[in-house]
Chain A
Amino acid sequence: MKHFTMADLLGGALMLAVGATFSIVALNNYPMGSAIAPGPGIFPFAVGAITGLIGLAIIARAFIQREDIKIQVTPRAVLSVLVAIAAFAFLIGRVGLIATLFVTVLIAATGSRDSRPLPALGVAFATAFGGWLIFIQALGLPLIAFKAPF
């Protein structure tokens, strides 16, 4: 048996960090105003402080109430999905929608152990074409279908 609940400890620390950051930034940069006319700083400062306190409470609880929450991370799925989105962000302004969708699907597909190259390629083609059809032809979104990268 471990001495603390890891998930609560990390989660609480995350809350504490975010809350403290917001509070400190508010304290240093934005006017607090007065009780009668509260400024733009007081609200985020207070909420940030409350967040931090709750974070501390969660950390404390990690040591008191030991639960068996397993932290399950699947690095392969996480990485491939994130890289796929990053690729979308990088490519969409450079090569247009069709090529972007094609690449995004292929990268995303690597995330699952059950993906096979040929079906993934088929889905990539279908998504690129279908995306063009739905979003540009049918819905008329202001997207560029194809663009030379140079």
Chain B
Amino acid sequence: MENLIHGFAIALTYENLFYCFLGVFLGMVVGVLPGVGTLAAISMLLPITFYLEPTTAIIMLAGVYYGSEYGGSTASILLNLPGSPSNAVTCLDGYPMAQQGRAGVALFITTAASFLGGSLGIILLIVATPAFLAFAMMFQSKEYFVALLLGLVMAATISQGSPLKGLAVLCIGILLGCIGADVQTGIARYTMGNIELFDGINIVVVAMGLFGISEIIWSIASHTAPAINDKITMRSLIPTKQEIKTSFFPALRGTAVGSIAGPLPGAGLALAAFFAYAVEKKVSKTPERFGKGAIEGIAAPEAANNAAAQTAFIPTFALGIPGTTTMAIMLGALMMHGLTPGPQFIRENFDMFWGIVASFWIGNLFLLILNIPMINLWVRLLKIPYPLLYPVIICFVCIGVYAVNSSVFDVVLLLGFGVFGYLLRIFGFEAAPLLMGFVLGPLLEENFRRAMLIARGDFFSLFTGPVNTAMLALALVGALWAIYLRMRSKSERLAVAALEAE
């Protein structure tokens, strides 16, 4: 408790408050825009934070993160266009509500449920991180190696699409992470004599190329002009007592589901939202209302993805092992500021950790107060025709990439990654695992080499020891569960398709 008060003292300085606000606001702006997801939002705004203090930079980036998650739900409800994958579930009931003229209520419930989920997620983050730290103290290089390996494989196979393709893309990311000087020997790898590659490829370039540029190319062709007619009045936002009552417990259940899914590798926010929705449908007495504007269908997944957004920070901070791509970017941002998360990180940067945690809650509060009065601004933003918008986004991406090192070479690399990301996309590959591999690959290699040295060259002994046995067993259970879910979601998707066909 003392720690938290101390954290608030740090988060409440004018500078940190301002950047927290700025982050949340910009995150919402970018999140509302169709075709720009959370990943692109964070990587686009990453260069701005280079000039800030590390604590302030992370506070701002975290603001961008949950701001854009939140902004995405606005686009889902009003346009049936999810801003990010985790909001896709919100479309199912949010858009029907908007069509019934209940967009205001849907948006309000989203905001309230998000705030509830986010706040409870933060409390869990505060309680669970010390416990995780104790667990992390048992980690040595072989445990890190196994944890990283399992985390990466799970992230690549569980999330979306074909597991085989996910693994391939993950490996490409690890390979790209090898580019640059080898940490132990200083030998330059894959630089082709190019000095600018000696420090490795900048994460901003990779992320912007894969998620910014290729996404824009994709959206230009597929984007259709949005049609929102009604202006949302303040009055229409206020839900009835009945609506509040029906959404309260779903929001709590959603929070519980999201909090558990958040720290799991590969699960992430999208799965959290999907689970929460499935749970609600199961416990509901009137499951047939779902998909036709059931308010529980918004409250639960929105609470879930916001709770997950907070608890996802637990393994990132405590172990230095992010579970999702977004967290991998956050980790990359920390590393760019010369900080390596992990047990030492929290001990040595005590002020920073608690300051960041406190700022999360302030940021969630900003979300709550920013959103309601500004809803018409978001609506107007959604109405901007895409042909006018995307050239500006391209300029921002180019400036962002160029500004990191004032390097023209980086812009050329951006072009390359844009093409590669587009190729992946048209061949039906998911690009997200690449970034995880890229960020965590160097850590994987370092721990592998160190562990091999300690194990006197016995590769298979790397997988032994109590912690590793426990992790492997858990991963096995997780894998079986994932297979079960995959089979079930397949039949569920068929059911959804059948519903839509009706």
Contact = CB atoms under 8 A, between A and B. Distances in A.
A131 B184 CA distance: 42
Contact of A81 (B182, B187, B394): B394
A99 interface: no
Interface in A9-48: 10-12, 14-15, 18-19, 22, 25-26, 30-31, 34-40, 43-44, 47-48
B494 interface: no
A40 B428 contact: no
Contacts of A101: 395, 399
B448 interface: yes
Contact of B168 (A58, A85, A97, A111): A58
Nearest to A105: B391
Contacts of A26: 189
A37 B453 contact: yes
Interface stretch (B85-93, B213-221, B287-295): B213-221
B189 A44 contact: yes
A139 B390 contact: no
B48 to A, nearest CB: 6
Interface string B425-436: 011110000000
A86 B387 contact: no
Interface in B363-415: 385-388, 390-392, 394-396, 398-399, 402-403, 406, 408, 411-412, 414-415
B395 A104 contact: yes
Residue in A34, A69, A115 with the greatest tally of chain B CB atoms within 10 Å: A115
B395 A131 contact: yes
Contacts of A95: none
B415 A105 contact: no
Nearest to B185: A40
A123 B398 contact: no
Contacts of A88: 395, 398, 402, 411
Interface in A123-143: 123-124, 127, 131, 135, 139-143
A148 interface: no
Nearest to B412: A89
A35 B419 CA distance: 38
Contacts of B396: 131
Interface in B469-493: none
Contacts of A35: 452, 457-459
A42 to B, nearest CB: 8
Contact of B415 (A10, A85, A120): A85
Interface residues of A, number: 72
A106 B164 CA distance: 40
Given A7-B428, A38-B448, A54-B164, A82 B418 contact: yes
Contact of B187 (A10, A30, A37, A58): A30
B427 A71 contact: yes
B164 A40 contact: no
A25 to B, nearest CB: 6
B175 interface: yes
Interface string B151-192: 000000000000011011101101100100010110101100
A126 to B, nearest CB: 8
B235 interface: no
A26 to B, nearest CB: 8
A49 to B, nearest CB: 10
A44 B178 contact: yes
Given A58-B168, A78-B217, A123-B391, A7 B175 contact: no
Contacts of A145: none
Contacts of A14: 423, 427
B449 interface: yes
Contacts of B390: 108, 111-112
A139 B452 contact: no
B398 to A, nearest CB: 4
A51 B189 contact: no
A123 B422 CA distance: 26
A88 B411 CA distance: 8
Given A85-B213, A92-B398, A142-B406, 9 more contacts: A11-B428, A43-B449, A58-B164, A58-B165, A78-B422, A82-B418, A89-B412, A120-B388, A139-B51
5 contacts: A48-B171, A54-B168, A57-B164, A72-B221, A141-B403
Ranked nearest first, the 5 interchain pairs of A and B with the lowest CB-CB distance are: A35-B457, A11-B427, A108-B391, A74-B221, A40-B182
